[in-house]
Structure 1
């Protein structure tokens, strides 16, 4: 089949394209995209249709289609803004709009009737859409985490998967916000009439002060006097965008573009660049701004706008190169304060908080106005917070006004208020954090800063999630999402959906959480935000991991890693590495997991990202414990605990304290474990899961001491917290603790029934390690019920599962159960198990094995256990820690 159009011939059999200038080489996939467009002409071909037709069952991202369309356009000499061949339909797909004549080998067909040619079939061609930006090559499907200042989440939400309580490390929507240089306003085309010009200048002053509501009032008055003043129209667009009303901003920019037809070419390019940015067409914005810079190489202002566009797109290396060009400009053209602030924002996007702090300090020294000094200090405060220095953060915020304190609202006060809320949240004072955020939202609304108000509402919802109020957070976010959809604010919509996914997960609705996460990812792609896409894939990977879909989880983390690496964002890459380590660990690839974690740890240390170092040390401690490296695990837990205490992160401190206490219990060091648990200042404050972890550790300490009633009370309280927080996998772990207590109390039938059901549920949920623990309890109960054959068969099955999912303690407990089932040679085997357990530090298991060995070893073990206050009644192997 051959296709003829406008002097070109496309041979579908050979996938070749020939034009007036000769043959054009296309990659095979791009040639097939062209064939699909030609076959479908003049109809619209949607993105998913083209991907299905060309790539079939291969899992690819929309970026590969975007790349192919660009390649075809280059070959045809087509321009997206004035297409002759391929028309982009905004957010829908593409159409081939030139008349096409098809020719087969057997006969030649005539031209298509005019009534069906693409050039007559549609209204005026639309401008290039905000296509997903080309991503690195990937095998991931295109599934449906803001500019960098809003993306990096300081505290990880403890999405805890294993009994070892591994922490998925994620970025969070709760960091300080900073602004760039803002959209360009035309240098010419300003109003001429004196009063209109005065109102216009008043509007600009309000914009620079961060008051878009007041700015709109002045600018509307100016426009009423001179309706066609281009500068006024573009300033109105900027005011609308600053408040988050993107749809309204686009309408103002369309009017400005229409009125700018008589302006010089350079001014038209500036306006076109801002219009493209409002449509999230970052490539077009960069192209236009680059053209302006070439026409006027000394225009530092335009270069800073170019930097903003590259930063918003997540192209950090290109942004750095642009900033170097700006910094080379001579004085007085160069605004050194703005360059220093841009350097701080670039460092923030890279996750390099020491560099961010250094640039912000330099900016403060260069500040000439009070507003510039406040912005510089806010950048310093944000950097100190992310470096894990809460006291330094408070000091920087100390003399800044507070939202709701009776003063007129101020944009800097709002940003300071949200930083204060972070500090309160990390201290576990969720009510105070939420109050501050709601004050900030109200004050932002009064300023006309609807986008800032939306961020405060979103962050208040995140606080509600941590406080165990997931359903209230869902309601808040759903209302917020409706408002953002009306505003056309795709980036904030992506952020809100990302947090909604967390809220739905914690309310127990995992299918809805996955849908929300996929929708957030689609919105980031639509906005052309590569770093947002990477963060969203990190989030989606965690959700897949939570539901046992480890292969899909790995794919998402790997793509996030590629995106972060391609952008030069080292902290994000380290986050993805640490999450891939969790997936490797779950799959039994312990050495691969350790290598990934060590690489991530080195990156975090180099970036001085101490909160991340603490979280990763916690994860490494869990892995060391599972591998039987108890001394290393204890040292890592202690380091993580100390770091979390220093940072002031209440929830993570509690989680680390609980994990360290349980390790001490496994080492038969009950006194030290009790001391660690009792040092918690307020066990009733904080998030549900860390509180439940602490209660569980208290319960296990009580069970070891033979206080079954106290243990049962603690386990039930932990279960209630987990149920209320919508954590079904952790509810099952609490049920397993209660089943063990039932066995210790001699309620074997009840314990058997519970263990069987929990093993089935845990297996269905994809939680292999938990299912093994339930199996070990069931085997022990069967042995006590004198069903040795059934217990032996179950142990064979569990041994195979442990090969796929190794765990040192579980293996020792299985060996201990084999000792109990042996009639001959029990003493020798029990002695071997005791030696193996003692060699790696599991002293409590070693003492249990000594009891089974009997003789002098048994008597000595009994004395040690009694001296430690450890009860010896019940089934010896029933130890879930």
Structure 2
């Protein structure tokens, strides 16, 4: 924790008695209130303490743990308390997490107060007077109690000294610098003509002048934008800034003027001019760099070679212009425009390796890997005998196309040690991210953003990094920033790409309605190239699939595949086949699903992307399990985990492990699944994947609940819920709430359970998650049967029917709920029909374990119809089967079914032995409802007095816990005993409506 065991900060904060002003608010620590434009702002004392602490610590980023220690004093149970309080604080102050002006979220770090803070003296008139006279904020107090302000004053003084030194430093090169080469910063080149067609020259001259200064002068060179003087940190250690302007000077032709000045000074140290015959970027850059080197009094280094500069560009001036146009279009995510420009350049130079390299990059951006690899191979062959330094970017491209991201990153880092170009710098960030080196990628990106703070491409790149790390909330914030920057630049293609990234983040955050609206607009958006349109269509299909709209999802996938085929885009085609397989599996078309996934794997093998192949094996494994091909499924998942481990991809390994464990858990082998879930948890923690960590915790909670270790189950579920709340993952929050409802039911707290399950159902409905909403509603229906709320149940069943469910498993559960209702109301024939339909649906999708459960329901209806021998045999078979697959709670149900069949046949001694077995199992796996049902059964083979005691206990406990149907059954049994004074068999069936409830897997 951030503050260790220090006294909670809120206990001594008011002793400071500070009055502060920020934005349009005033904070009074003595009165513990905030005054806004409309008067006092309403907030809890705890919220006020959080605000005060953030201000006190500004500009430091405060971690959630530090806030917990300082403000709550170890009283909070999780960091979700912090997130909720920050949310309240922003709402009270009118701030926004996506566009903050007061409190900014720093992903993985904490929160930072970013507004300017000014102390207020006791006399408000003094503040007004000072501002009128000086035009500056009032001086900060040096009171010991206000211990942070002196440091701020000292920092300001230091800044003044630095500025004074820079401004008044001598303009001539000092003798003390003659023993080392100066550091030069190349500023933006200005188009001084009236011709916008010459705009391409600026970036070209900046880049290649930088290369030439490094190659021919040995200087250290930086590139900076026009606002470099405002950011002193950018120019730290810079000796000269080079500025320039270029134009076509009438009949005189091209003209390039360059000047050198000291950082922080507008006084020109020296000026140079170049009058080339044409704008051959290599030649003019070489000439200007040589002139600058000579003017500064330095000699060429021994290894200087102007041929290396020329080799980096097409040979002819005309093809150079087309080359730079293509490079600019590539950076703006317009690969089709880039291809057109490249064709113009190729007409002049069809065999240039630099054009081959750029063509490989453009085709890779389109998704056409075959063409990209062809051009990359041409570039490699043509430069086989070049010095390695001159082909680092060519080798990096080849590595990226081979998905060897680590090697690509190494080559790009070596390349950028000389003079980093914008495109190669962005490629470096992307390669580092794909290699899993997220901290290095963030550092490289921060360096780029210092020089280009308003570049939409960098904001979009940051969103891509967040997406790779499964950080949906930061991704959404960064994509929105990218869209705003692109809009300011008028870069429409970047705007559309940012909107697509926003949509992907919204899906992960559970904001499905907004995501769907955006995606439906993007699928035919002409601002997107064909590959991105197809990607938008595929994301729409994924969302439709998540919402349970299976037929539209399948149609969207097919349309996405058609667009990917046009490009062609083999990776997109493979991903579309994977999603098609998932949709077909959900529709119960298992064999078709397997064919689609085999096709996806063939496509990924052709692409030779090991990471995506491993992901495909994960999905293939889950589908094979549905087809009862368990050995093949587990082999696929184990192979996927090995692949991820070889790639050092702990996040991918965690995904493989969690799916492996889920398959084993669904097979009823919970003890075997638990250690694999634990390994998945460790993998996600190593990878820093908070969502994966929360999913693993949720599954471990479900297993603990199944073995009736409720304390552990609730603890793990709350840890999972806290992480999901911190991430803002609404769908996952609803899923964990669902699982907590089942835990409450097992503990005998039906009211709490029904409240939780309704919250989960409403949340799923608000997100359009129809399938998960149905699961919540059917589980609620099972609880309503237990509670005897049949009118409410009828209304709920009508709601389920309106959802038009296609999933066979969910339809089966709905039939089970209807059968339970009929059984409790004394209509076993109807119950038998509903249970039989449920069994047929489970059989149609090959759900072996669920078929055992529906078979037990059918046997319960047969027992109510007097078919005791059939029920007895089924009970014996199922008790053995459930024991074999270690489904303890189902084994208990089967044993009670068997005991009841024996009781109906007046074989009480045998029934007592079976109930003793059930008691032993129930001791290992407690369940409130099963315990009550056990009491009812034991009363039927007990002497009258003991039977009355047991029935009285069942009546009282069931009433307290909310199991009304069991309470009424015990009451009727007591009335029967009171009349007959002897135990008489009754044919009422014990309710097991809870059998319809099953944990939602968190994978």
TM-score scaled by structure 2? 0.63
Which of 961, 972, 984 pairs up with 1:840?
961
- For the Cα contact (< 8 Å) 1:652–1:690, is it kept in 2? no
Q: How does 1:367-766 map to 2 (within 5 A)?
A: 367=486, 368-402=490-524, 410-682=530-802, 684-766=804-886
* Secondary structure at the counterpart of residue 402 of structure 1: coil
Question: Which residue of 2 is the match for residue 360 of structure 1?
Answer: 479
Q: CA deviation at 1:635?
A: 1.0
Deviates more, 1:701-710 or 1:721-730: 701-710
Aligned equivalents of 1:275 and 1:631: distance in 2?
Answer: 62
**CA deviation map 1:725-771 (0-9, x unaligned):** 22111111111110000000110001111121122222222322212
**C-alpha separation between the residues in 1 aligned to 2:310 and 2:479?**
29
8 A contact 2:860–2:871 mirrored in 1: yes
Task: Give 3-state SS (helix, strand or coil) of 2:802's partner.
Answer: coil
The separation in 2 between residues aligned to 1:289 and 1:549, in whole angstroms, is 48
In the aligned structure 1, how far is the partner of 2:595 from the partner of 2:675?
Answer: 31
Of 328, 340, 353, 1:230 maps to 353
C-alpha distance in 2 between matches for 1:779 and 1:245? 66
Deviation at 1:783, TM superposition (A): 1.5
Q: Report deviation, 1:676.
A: 1.3
SS at match of 2:354: helix
Residue of structure 2 in register with 1:321 after alignment: 443
Q: Is 1:192 the equivalent of 2:305?
A: no
Contact 1:655/1:694 (8 A) holds in 2:
no
Name the CA distance, whole Å, in 1 between partners of 2:317 and 2:443: 42
1:283/1:578 Cα in 2 relative to 1: closer, same or farther (>3 Å)? same
| Cα deviation, residue 656, structure 1 | 0.4
Give the 3 Å change call, closer, same or farther, for CA 299–210 of structure 1 in structure 2.
Answer: closer
**d(CA) in 2 for partners of 1:304, 1:369:** 18
Contact 2:754/2:780 (8 A) holds in 1: yes
Structure 1 residues 360, 450: closer, same or farther in 2, change over 3 A?
Answer: same
User: In structure 1, what is the Cα distance between the partners aligned to 2:438 and 2:682?
Assistant: 14
User: Compared with structure 1, are the counterparts of its residues 710 and 829 closer, same or farther at alpha carbon in structure 2 (3 Å cutoff)?
Assistant: closer
Q: In the TM superposition, what are the counterparts of 1:797-812 in structure 2 within 5 Å? A: 797-812=917-932
- The partner residue of 2:434 within 306, 309, 312 is 312
1:612, distance to aligned residue in structure 2 (A):
0.6
d(CA) in 1 for partners of 2:941, 2:977? 22
Displacement of 1:552? 4.4
- What is the CA distance between 1:507 and its match in structure 2? 2.3
Deviation at residue 489 of structure 1 after TM alignment = 2.7
The more displaced of 506-515 and 250-259 is: 250-259
Where structure 1 has 5 or more consecutive residues not aligned to the other structure, the ranges are 1-185, 860-871
Distance 2:349 2:730 in 1: 56
Q: Distance in 2 between matches of 1:719 and 1:222?
A: 67
SS in 2 for 1:314: coil
Q: Flag the 1:248–1:338 CA change in 2: closer, same or farther, 3 A.
A: closer
Which residue is 2:911 aligned to? 791
Q: 1:418 deviation in Å?
A: 2.2
Per-residue deviation, 1:227:
7.7
Whole-angstrom distance in 2 between the partners of 1:187 and 1:310? 29
Contact 1:834 1:846 in 2 (8 A): yes
Q: Which residue of 2 aligns with 1:41?
A: none
1:609-632 CA-to-partner distances (Å, cap 9, x unmatched) read 101101111111112212222222
Which residue in 2 is equivalent to 1:286?
A: 409
Determine if contact 1:277/1:285 at 8 Å carries over to the other structure. yes
The structure-2 alpha-carbon separation of the partners of 1:822 and 1:289, relative to structure 1 and needing over 3 Å to count, comes to same
> Helix, strand or coil for the counterpart of 2:698?
helix
Once residues 266 and 509 of structure 1 are traced to their aligned partners in structure 2, the CA distance between those partners, rounded to angstroms, is 53
1:815 aligns with 2:935: yes
Equivalent position to 1:269, from 373, 392, 397: 392
RMSD of equivalent CA atoms: 3.3
Q: How big is each residue's C-alpha offset from its partner over 1:414-451, in whole Å with a ceiling of 9 and x where there is no partner?
A: 22222332343344321121111101101111111121
**How far, CA to CA, are the matches of 2:320 and 2:424 in structure 1?**
23
Alpha-carbon distance in 2 for matches of 1:206, 1:453 = 25
| Range 525-534 or range 726-735, more displaced | 525-534
In 2, distance between residues paired with 1:767 and 1:652? Answer: 23
Q: Per-residue deviation at 1:636? A: 0.7
Give the distance between the partners of 1:213 and 1:358, measured in 2 at CA. 29
Q: In the TM superposition, what is the alpha-carbon distance from 1:820 to its structure 2 partner?
A: 1.3
Q: Using CA pairs under 8 Å that are at least 6 residues apart, name the structure with larger relative contact order, 1 or 2.
A: 1
Tell me the equivalent position of 1:65. none
In the aligned structure 2, how far is the partner of 1:729 from the partner of 1:214? 56
What TM-score results when the alignment is normalised by the length of structure 1? 0.71
Q: Per the alignment, in what secondary structure is the counterpart of residue 522 of structure 2?
A: coil
Q: How many Å separate the matches in 2 of 1:218 and 1:307?
A: 26
Closer, same or farther: CA 467–206 of 1 in aligned 2, 3 Å: farther
* Closer, same or farther: CA 400–839 of 1 in aligned 2, 3 Å: same
For residues 503-534 of structure 1, what are the alpha-carbon distances to aligned partners after superposition, in whole Å with 9 as ceiling and x for unaligned? 22222322222222223333434444332222
Residue by residue over 1:256-310, the C-alpha shift from the partner in whole angstroms, topping out at 9 and shown as x without a partner, is 44544565655533334444444444443333333344444x6554443332223
Q: Confirm or deny: 8 A CA contact 2:879 2:894 kept in the other structure.
A: yes
Aligned residue pair count: 678
The Cα shift of 1:579 comes to 1.5
CA contact (8 A) 2:765 2:773 kept: yes
- Cα distance between partner residues in 1 of 2:789 and 2:412: 66
Distance 2:492 2:587 in 1: 37
**1:171 matched to which residue of 2?**
none
Q: Partners of 1:220 and 1:526 in 2: how far apart?
A: 41
Quick one: distance in 1 between partners of 2:574 and 2:340? 22
Going from structure 1 to structure 2, the CA distance change for 1:590 and 1:454 (only over 3 Å counts) comes to same
Corresponding position of 1:877? 990
1:201–1:495 CA distance, 2 compared to 1 (3 A): farther
- Check whether the contact 1:524–1:532 (CA below 8 A) recurs between aligned residues: yes
Pair 1:304–1:243, CA change in 2 (3 A)? closer
Matched position secondary structure for 1:737: helix
The Cα shift of 1:482 comes to: 2.0
Looking at structure 1, the residues matched to 950 and 582 of structure 2 have their Cα atoms a distance apart, in angstroms, of 53
Deviations, residues 179-199 of structure 1 (Å, cap 9, x unaligned): xxxxxxx99544436787688
Which string of whole-angstrom CA distances, capped at 9 and with x for unpartnered residues, describes residues 149-208 of structure 1?
Answer: xxxxxxxxxxxxxxxxxxxxxxxxxxxxxxxxxxxxx99544436787688678768867
CA shift in 2, pair 1:801/1:724, >3 Å = same
Aligned 8 A contact 1:317 1:568 in 2: no
Over 3 Å counting, the alpha-carbon distance change for 1:427 and 1:284 in structure 2 is: closer
Report the more deviating stretch, 470-479 or 521-530. 521-530
